[in-house]
Amino acid sequence: METWDTIRSRRNVRDFDARPIGQGDLDRILEAARRAPSSNNEQPWDFVVVRERAAAERLSGVWHYGGHIAGAAAVIAFVGGASDEPESREWIAFDMGQAAMSAMLAAADLGIGSCHSAVGDQALARDVLGLPGDREVVLLLSLGYPADRPLAPIAMPSRRAFDDVVHRERW
Amino acid sequence: METWDTIRSRRNVRDFDARPIGQGDLDRILEAARRAPSSNNEQPWDFVVVRERAAAERLSGVWHYGGHIAGAAAVIAFVGGASDEPESREWIAFDMGQAAMSAMLAAADLGIGSCHSAVGDQALARDVLGLPGDREVVLLLSLGYPADRPLAPIAMPSRRAFDDVVHRERW
C-alpha cells in the first residue's frame, strides 16, 4: 500500500477474525520493529512473538483492558530491561514507541489490525513468556485481521484539530 | 512510495541540502504525527514547527549532538507536559516515540530525511519556542533533503540480527 494510505488506515483493532497471519507477514512486521531507530542505536528491545492460543489467553490477564489479546492471531511482546533509573526508563519507552509504530504501520500495510496493551502483572507476563527476572514487558501488541471491516484510509480521525496541535515558529 | 520501501529507506540524515520543504509536505508530516495513537487517546503533544534559520541555529544549542538542527530545512519540536510523575513521563515518552516514528516515515515517503535530537537545555528551547513554563520539549526532529544521496531501501541496516531480537513463543 502507498505509505500515506497506510498511515491514514492504521486504527486500533480489538476484534479479529479467525484468519491466521502468515509467517512471512509476521516476520515483516517484526523486521519493521527491528529497523526502528533508537537512542545511540542501543536497540533496547527484544520481541517475543506468540501464536499459541493458550499463551495468548493467559497474556490477556496482564491488564484490565487486555481482553483483545486472547483473540489475536499473534501477539508481540516488546521486552526491555527492567531499569530502576527514571531517565533510562523514559528513553526505553520512547524507543519502544518508535518500534511499535513501525510494526503497526507494517501490519496496516498488509491489512492487519493491531491494538496495544499495557502490562500491569509483570510476573504473569514473565511466566508466560519465560523471561529472565531482569526483563520486563513494556507493551503487548495484538495483531490480526479486523473482524468488522478492512483497514482503509480514515478521513476524520478522532484527534485534536490540526490547528490546535500545530504551532508555526512559536507557541 | 510503497510502505515497505519507506520503512526500509528511513535513516538518520544529519546533513541537508538547501532545498526547502514545501508547506504541503510539511503539513503532511505533521498530520502523520497528529494521527499517531496514544494512551487513552490523550494525545499528550503539541508540535511547534520552525523554518526560520535563526531560530533553528539557536535550537541547535539545546544538545551537545544537536548540530544538525542548525542546517535543517525545518525542525519539529515535540512538546509535552513537564510532569514530575515518572509513570506519566514514561507514557508521554512512549507516545512521543510513536508520533515521531509516524512523522519520520511520512517524511521518508516524500524523500525527506530526518534526525532526532534530545533536549538538554530546556530553558533555551522554551525561550526560542515561546513555551509556557509547564511544557517541555521531549524531542527535536530535524527535517530536510539529504545532502549525500536520496533515501532508498537499505538492505543491511546496522541493527542486531533478526534471530537475536526475535524470540518464538518464549524467550
Domain-located, residue A133:
yes
Q: Residue B45's closest chain A neighbor by CA?
A: A165
Cell of A87: 531517565
> CA of A61 to nearest chain B CA: how many angstroms apart?
17
On whether residue A158 sits in a domain, the answer given is: no
Residues in chain A closer than 8 A to B6 (CB atoms): 3
Q: Which of A78, A50, A74, A92 minimizes the C-alpha distance to A139? A: A78
B18 falls within a domain: yes
In whole angstroms, what separates CA A40 from the centre of its chain?
22
Match 538492505 to its residue by C-alpha cell.
B155
Q: A56-98: per-residue pLDDT in tens?
A: 999 999 999 999 999 999 999 999 999 999 999 999 999 999 9
* Residues of A whose CB is below 8 A from B100: 94, 97-98
Tell whether B171 is covered by a domain: no
Fill in the DSSP letter of residue A12: B
pLDDT at A145: 98
Q: Which of A63, A98, A115 to mutate to test the interface with B (most CBs of B within 10 A)?
A: A98
A162 HSE (CA, 13 A, CB side): 10
| Rounded distance between C-alpha atoms, residue A131 and residue A146, angstroms | 30
Q: What cell does A165 get?
A: 496541535
* Minimum CA–CA partner of A52 in chain B: B169
Of A1, A160, A169, the CB nearest to B3: A1
Q: What is the pLDDT of residue A66?
A: 92
* pLDDT of the residue at A35: 98
Residues of B in contact with A7 (CB under 8 A): 32, 35, 102, 105-106
Q: Are strands B46-50 and B74-81 parallel, antiparallel or unpaired?
A: antiparallel
Grid-cell match 513463543, residue found = B169
Instruction: Give me the pLDDT at residue B70, please.
Output: 97
The answer to whether residue B123 is domain-embedded is: yes
Which residue from B135, B141, B56 is spatially nearest to B106, judged by alpha carbons? B141
Can you list the residues of chain B whose pLDDT is less than 50? none
Please check whether residue A161 lies inside any domain of the structure: no
Maximum Cα–Cα distance across chain B: 52
Predicted pLDDT at A155: 97
Place of cell 528491545: A45
Cβ(B114)–Cβ(B143) under 8 Å? Answer: yes
The domain in which residue B7 lies consists of 3-165
Rounded Cα gap, residues B57 and B55, in angstroms: 5
CB contact under 8 A, A171 and B30: no
CB A137 within 8 A of CB A77: yes
Q: How far apart are the first and last CA of chain B?
A: 35
The answer to the question of residue A156 being in a domain is: no
Mean pLDDT of A141-153: 98
Residue among A105, A109, A132 whose CB faces B171 most closely: A132
Q: Is A26 helix (H, G, I), strand (E, B) or coil?
A: helix
Give the mean pLDDT of A145-168.
98
How far away is chain A from the Cα of B94, in angstroms, using its nearest Cα? Answer: 4
| Tens-place pLDDT, residues A4-13 | 999 999 999 9
Chain A / chain B CB contacts < 8 angstroms: 200
Q: Scanning the structure block, which residue is given the C-alpha cell 533509573? A: A85
The burial of B65, by beta-carbon neighbours within 10 Å (0-12 exposed, 13-18 middle, 19 or more buried), is given as middle
pLDDT at residue number B130: 98
Model-level ipTM above the cut of 0.85: yes
- According to DSSP, residue A113 is labeled E
Residues 6+ apart with CB under 8 A from B127: none
Residues of chain B with Cβ-Cβ distance to A109 below 8 Å are 2-4
Query: What pLDDT, on a 0 to 100 scale, did the predictor assign at position B50?
Result: 98
Is the residue at B170 inside a domain? no
Contacts of A106 in chain B (CB under 8 A): 3-4, 7
**pLDDT tens figures, A36-47:** 999 999 999 999
Query: With a threshold of 0.90, does the pTM exceed it?
Result: yes
Per-residue pLDDT band at A147 (split at 50, 70, 90): very high
- For residue A137, the domain's CATH number is 3.40.109.10
- Minimal-distance CA residue of chain B relative to A166: B47
Total tally of structural domains belonging to chain A? 1
